[in-house]
Amino acid sequence: MTTARKPTQRDVAKLAGVSTAVVSRVLNPDGAGTVRVGPEAEARVKRAVEQLGYVPNPVARNLATGRTHLIGVFTYEPIFPTAQRDFYFPFLVGIERAAEERGLDLLLFTGSSGPARARRAFRDGVNRMRLADGALLLGRTPDRKELARLADEGYPMVYIGRREVDGHRVSFVAADYAGGTADLATYLVELGHRRLAYLGVPDPEESATDRERGYRAALERIGLARTIHRIRKPPAAVDAHLVRDLHTEGFTAVLVESDAFARRLLAAAAVARIDVPRQLSFAVLGDPLDPATVDPGWTTFRIPREEMGSHAFDSLVRAIEDPSSMPRQVYLPCTFVPGSTTVRPGA
């Protein structure tokens, strides 16, 4: 049994009575070339395409235009997020929405390499993301050397989240953590709190340093610079002794970097018999990294994750179409959310 041969552009050209260059121009009007096609010839080509059932080869078209019309999505997280309530899921929703609006396809890069099975953009010295016209990158722990190499190559990329790379300006779309934190600190001061501690992880990444910068800026602006008190330790080190010390030293509110600190603080306060929020209020600086099934109702701010995904997609498309417009570094505002973990001191 023989399989029928698929029609080619040469077959279409023969039936339409035109050259293959004319067929190529009709099928790819946005591609490079100087061939002019009149309306009558265009109509003949389209009739021939329909009559033969010709389907353009996307690989050949991409070779002709130098574009794949694919947008890559790459994450440095060890397992690509799939759960609906996962912290990264809204980013992907925003990316997909923007791709649908633009009529472009997404290519998901999930490969890993090395003994630790770490995510890598390069394999055997080759940038695997070259399969796409450009890529969106995610992940809290990127390989900075890879980002520098991608920048040196001039490969179009936009990181979702602020990332600093020595000697390079990397394009990104980030949440305005500094502004969101400043809003929470200002809110606590307006409630009557005058001593606000800041609790975060050691060796902070960009988003954490942005949060602390917002905390410091707010207190300095309000005139409480002398009360600035930063504590950096792992969430597991938050215990009853720490909570008692804060209360004894006159702190009535704490800004915590993540939900991990919030849960430890609540447990430690219960052991120390410190009432939350009447004796010690707290606010969480962003959405939970480990989302619960029920909203805990904490005072916090919402990170515009879907908007970050769609905005990053648009920035990447702009970079592909006009490389001179990059790098672009964009911050999107966070939304204040009042909750049950902050009250007036001694309320």
Q: Is the pLDDT of residue 197 over 80?
A: yes
C-beta contacts of 120-123 below 8 A and 24+ residues apart = 120/146, 121/74, 121/146, 121/150, 122/146, 122/149
When pLDDT is averaged across residues 259-265 and rounded to a whole number, the result is 95
> What are 267's strand-pairing partners?
none
The answer on 115 and 158 residing in a single domain is yes
The answer on 167 and 118 residing in a single domain is yes
**Residue 341 lies inside a defined structural domain of this protein:** no
**Residue 56 lies inside a defined structural domain of this protein:** yes
Which pLDDT value is given to residue 106?
Answer: 94
Mean pLDDT, all residues of the chain = 88
Are 335 and 165 spatial neighbours (Cβ–Cβ below 8 Å)? no
CATH code of the domain covering residue 268: 3.40.50.2300
Chain centre distance of CA 143:
16
Chain centre distance of CA 207:
12
Contacts of 316 (CB under 8 A, 6+ apart): 71, 134, 135, 136, 156, 157, 158, 171
Lowest pLDDT segment from 20-29, 61-70, 132-141: 61-70
**Residue 2 lies inside a defined structural domain of this protein:** no
Which pLDDT value is given to residue 115?
Answer: 54
Domain limits at 81? Answer: 70-175+306-335
Strand (E) or helix (H) holding 188: helix 177-191
Helix axes 39-52, 9-16, angle to 10 degrees: 120
Q: Is the pLDDT of residue 76 over 90?
A: no
The answer on 83 and 39 residing in a single domain is no
When computed from its CA atoms, the radius of gyration of the chain, rounded to whole angstroms, is: 27
Are 280 and 76 spatial neighbours (Cβ–Cβ below 8 Å)? no
Amino acid found at 287: D
The answer on 181 and 167 residing in a single domain is no
- Higher-confidence position of 17 and 311: 311
Which pLDDT value is given to residue 88?
Answer: 84
Helices (H), 103-158: 144-153
The answer on 181 and 290 residing in a single domain is yes
Does the predicted TM-score (pTM) go above 0.85? no
46, 65, 84: which is the final residue of a domain?
65
- Indicate the number of domains in the chain: 3
Reported confidence tier of residue 343, pLDDT bands at 50, 70, 90: very high
Query: Strands, E, within 60-138: which ranges?
Result: 70-75, 105-109, 112-113, 118-119, 122-123, 126-127, 134-138
CATH code of the domain covering residue 56: 1.10.260.40
